[in-house]
Amino acid sequence: MPLVDDLRLPIAREELERRRFLGLLGSGALGLAALGTLIAGVRYLEPDVLYEEDERFAIGRPEAIAVGTLLVCRARKLYVVHGPRGFYAISAVCSHFGCVTRHALGEDRITCPCHGSTFDLAGNVTKGPAPSGLVHFQLTLEHGVLIADLSSPVPSDTVLEV
């Protein structure tokens, strides 16, 4: 029986195409493996860091916020209220299932679009199904600027007098 690689025998055209196809397939597989290794290597060299926003951030100067104003910090899911006794910050995240609540300009309530809970401007539940009021966060005054700290929940009667 003659060997396929015997140079004395002519190689059939189909055999040449099959070999070329298998060669291309092997080269493609090696190329993909090399690319995967390269991507994994580059990914390994990058620091595996989760970049999160700072929990403390500036709200603004208190004298610029009139009594009776409710500021909406949508990106931070926070309301800052200047009430008659002072400033307080309440979460915009509903205590029911975590939807972001809304406050329409001039309204004296905060509403949740998901299941219809409503809260007064102090964050107390006025209509369920929310089981509890909105979380209050610490506000401080640093160098004349109000600073909110989302890592520090405070009792709901906490007010920053300025």
What distance in Å separates the CA atoms of residue 123 and residue 77, rounded to the nearest whole number?
Answer: 13
Give the residue with the Cβ less far from ligand FES, 62 or 123. Answer: 123
DSSP structure class, residue 131: -
What DSSP element (H or E) covers 14?
helix 13-45
* Token pair recorded at residue 70: 């409710």
94 interacts with ligand FES by CB under 6 A: yes
112 interacts with ligand FES by CB under 6 A: yes
**Among the candidate windows 65-73, 110-118, 132-140, 148-156, which touches ligand FES by CB under 6 A?**
110-118
What distance in Å separates the CA atoms of residue 111 and residue 104, rounded to the nearest whole number?
Answer: 9
Give the residue with the Cβ less far from ligand FES, 76 or 96. Answer: 96
Phi then psi for 97, rounded to 5 degrees?
Answer: -125, 20
Paired residues of 138 in beta bridges: 149
* Number of residues lying near ligand FES (CB under 6 A): 10
Site for ligand FES in 115-134 (CB under 6 A): 115, 117, 129-130
91 interacts with ligand FES by CB under 6 A: no
Out of 18, 97, 132, 140, point to the residue binding ligand FES (CB under 6 A). Answer: 97
For residue 141, with 0-12 CB atoms within 10 Å meaning exposed, 13-18 middle and 19 or more buried, which class applies?
middle
96 interacts with ligand FES by CB under 6 A: yes
Give the residue with the Cβ less far from ligand FES, 111 or 138. Answer: 111
Site for ligand FES in 10-69 (CB under 6 A): none
Task: Write out the E strands in 39-127.
Answer: 56-60, 70-73, 78-83, 86-91, 109-111, 118-120, 125-127
The contact set with ligand FES (CB under 6 A) reads 94, 96-97, 99, 112, 114-115, 117, 129-130
